[in-house]
Chains A and B, each alone.
Chain A
Amino acid sequence: MFKTRQSLIALLSVLLLLLLAAAAMLWREGGGGPGQVVSTGQAAIGGPYHLINQDGMPVSDRDFRGRYQLIYFGYTFCPDVCPTTLALIAAALEKMGPDAKRIAPIFITVDPGRDKPQILKKYLAAFDPRFIGLTGSQDELSKVEKEYKVYAQKEPLKGGTYAVNHSSVIYLMGPKGKLVTFYNEILTPEQLAKDLTAKTS
């Protein structure tokens, strides 16, 4: 009799544990509890912008509906990473040939104090005529930086000038303005061209 009772308690304990486990699993999938990731995993990067281009004309994100935007945030006073990345984008677009037409390569400045439209125009022309340079007020740019989760911080340099430390990421936005993918690693033009072709076809 003792044995049976013990076995019964053991059985009930196991059942209870199983029930608790099942409940915990259902609770998690149901979206409750701390630390639960609610989104599908796609970061909420992107958003509207109203800026001006290198010709001083107003440009908004809506102007690119139906096309892909390849967006890079940088600045012209940047001697190394920005020219390297712009050169990478230009070379990748070259490699894509006519497929590149689907993509609008956009350079948004994190340094509106120095990067006025005419500065952007001369600067970007040295890389590729397809580049669209965008600038505006610091307020508008700070808003866009926030939407794209861009870090940008002024750092004083010897000689009374400054650099801008910034996140160096290339964003690919889709025809409806939503994020498709982003690149923040060292890539060759071949690798970037291949991925862009795949992601925009």
Chain B
Amino acid sequence: MFTRSFLRAGGAAAALLCLIASPQALQAKPGAANSNSAGQLSITDAWIRGMPLSVPSGGYFTLTNHTGKKMVLTGADSPACGMLMLHRSENVGGRTEMKMVSEVAVPAGGSIAFAPGGYHLMCMQAKPAIKPGGSVPVSLIFKDGTRLTSQFPVRDAAGK
């Protein structure tokens, strides 16, 4: 069943799905709107994994841009993370590669989903504050200097 051409097609399909971020946003709990707006920029469906030990945590959200102009996300920070970076998991011919992302553009009227298997925040040196059941503040930083802060609920390692 899993012939080479099938695998290639599967890999391509997986890569394509990672690129089309919005279907993965559906993995977020319905009604779990945790929105925070700076003008007309909003973060919804935000969450971060509470991991054991201090291994890196993945953070996710959907960012919607109703500012009327293109917004460029260039970074993030949080008092709960020693280092917080933008990353993207990509399926490159069956291999998972994690690439650091320097900027993500969100067109006017558009949205981008950071979701499992695609774009994600990588929270390193996670502080004890990141415990399932709690929440931590995360600020998204934009090229024009805008900072958008939102509370990210902490789910367990499996994302529940």
Contacts and interface: CB of A to CB of B under 8 A. Distances in A.
B44 interface: no
B80 interface: no
Contacts of A86: 157-158
A84 interface: yes
A158 B96 contact: no
B98 A80 contact: yes
Interface string A61-79: 0000000000000001111
A76 B90 CA distance: 18
Contact of B51 (A81, A83, A151, A185): A83
Contact of A81 (B13, B98, B158, B160): B98
B17 A186 contact: yes
Contact of B53 (A76, A79, A182): A76
Given A79-B56, A80-B117, A81-B117, A87 B95 contact: no
B110 interface: no
B94 A169 contact: yes
Interface residues of B, number: 39
Contacts of B11: 184-185
Chain B at the A interface: mostly helix, strand, loop or mixed? mixed
Nearest to B92: A165
Interface in B59-114: 83, 85, 87, 89, 91, 94-98, 100
A83 B159 contact: yes
Interface extent on A, as a size class?
35 or more
Interface in B1-35: 1-3, 7, 10-11, 13-14, 17
Chain A at the B interface: mostly helix, strand, loop or mixed? mixed
B120 A79 contact: yes
A167 B117 CA distance: 13
A151 B96 CA distance: 9
A79 B87 contact: yes
Nearest to A188: B27
13 contacts: A41-B3, A79-B49, A80-B89, A80-B98, A83-B51, A87-B158, A158-B83, A165-B97, A166-B95, A167-B95, A184-B2, A184-B14, A185-B13
Interface of B: 1-3, 7, 10-11, 13-14, 17, 49, 51-53, 55-58, 83, 85, 87, 89, 91, 94-98, 100, 116-117, 120, 122-124, 156-160
